[in-house]
Amino acid sequence: MSDDLPLAGRTFALPETRLLDVLAGLVERRGAAIWRCPMVAILDHPDEDAVLAWLRHFIQDPPALTILLTGEGLRRLLACAERHALDEAFRQALARQPTLVRGPKPARVLKEMGLEPRWSAVSPTTAGVIETLRTLPVAGRDVGVQLYGEDPNLPLMTALQELGARPRPVAPYVYAPKSDDERVVALIHALGEGRIDAILFTSQPQYRRLRQVAQEHGLMDVLERGINRTQVAAIGPVAADDLARHGVRVDIMPSDSFFMKPLVSELVRVFSRPAPPSGH
């Protein structure tokens, strides 16, 4: 194994969609072969009127606090505002009241807008957001919540209500199936046959789609066998927690910076060790 190509001889499966080429490039430059199988597409929410109504309410009557769960969601809100010539009004309203970000990605988008979050969650998870909220004066106040996908995030909504807050949620985007079933089935068989060294999960819906196709095609045993013999990588604790809820162990995850480059660095660290025995 060359120091210049520390991942040579390895094959990694990438369910990523939006930044697939970026992630694939990072891995391929280190010598690995790539199995591309984008699991989900990210689309604007089909009910743009609902998102627009939320934006107008936000501009006219900003909540006391806004929780931003994802960078993608903030970008989609800004894009919707731009389509309706509300982007500057939205930015100004966002600047006038405090924000709580779940992790570094929404913080980065705020910075691109010339803004800074008032608070960051103690950990980049829903549980971390809730823990931070318990230290803030939200009782009797409106709290804007930018959701991820169409997940209503019932634990967060319940926590806000128990704290006496009035949540104002918005779902700026949805997840849709990307790869056709045939390609996903081929990946499941490749996992089951031990032809994949690691699979890299970068968002929650990816494994859910993999599992859905396995169930529909009677391949859950093959998927579970394949996952058990394959190194499973997660970009951060949100993806890792979702995998754990489905009974999937996570072998590889960056320790503190939950982006693609740290994930690839961790892959290099793990796979630069002597190769594990067959059936790892």
pLDDT of residue 275: 52
Which residue is it, tokens 């697939």?
20
Pairing of strands 11-14, 198-201: parallel
In the 8-state DSSP scheme, what is residue 114? T
pLDDT of residue 278: 46
Task: Quick: pLDDT tens for 74-132.
Answer: 999 999 999 999 999 999 999 999 999 999 889 999 999 999 999 999 998 899 999 99
Q: Could you give the domains of the chain?
A: 11-39+179-271 (3.40.50.10090), 43-172 (3.40.50.10090)
Task: Give counts: helices (H), strands (E), the chain.
Answer: 12, 11
In the 8-state DSSP scheme, what is residue 256? S
Neighbour tally for 20: CB within 10 Å? 17
E-assigned strands of 58-214?
A: 65-68, 99-101, 119-120, 142-146, 166-170, 173-177, 198-201
Q: φ, ψ for residue 100 (rounded to 5)? A: -120, 120
Angle at 74 between CA 40 and CA 235, to 5 degrees: 50
Q: The tokens of 5 are what?
A: 């190509």
What rounded mean pLDDT belongs to the chain?
Answer: 92
Neighbour tally for 207: CB within 10 Å? 23
Q: How far is CA 81 from the centre of its chain?
A: 23
Q: What's the Cα-to-Cα distance from 115 to each of 73, 94, 99, 111, 144, rounded to whole Å? A: 16, 8, 10, 5, 17
The radius of gyration computed from the CA coordinates of the chain, to the nearest angstrom, equals 20
Q: 84 and 51 in contact (C-beta within 8 Å)?
A: no
- In tens digits, what is the pLDDT along the chain, a chain of 280 residues? 456 788 899 999 999 877 778 888 889 999 999 999 999 888 999 999 999 999 999 999 999 999 999 999 999 999 999 999 999 999 999 999 999 999 988 999 999 999 999 999 999 889 999 999 999 999 999 999 999 888 899 999 999 999 999 999 999 999 888 878 999 999 999 999 999 999 999 988 899 999 999 999 999 999 999 999 999 999 988 899 999 999 999 999 998 877 888 899 999 999 986 555 544 4
Which of 143, 100, 95 shows the shortest CA–CA distance to 123?
A: 100
Which of 244, 243, 228 shows the shortest CA–CA distance to 191?
A: 228
pLDDT of residue 146: 98
Which residue is it, tokens 């924000």?
99
pLDDT of residue 280: 46
How far, in Å, CA of 228 to CA of 269, rounded? 21
pLDDT of residue 274: 57
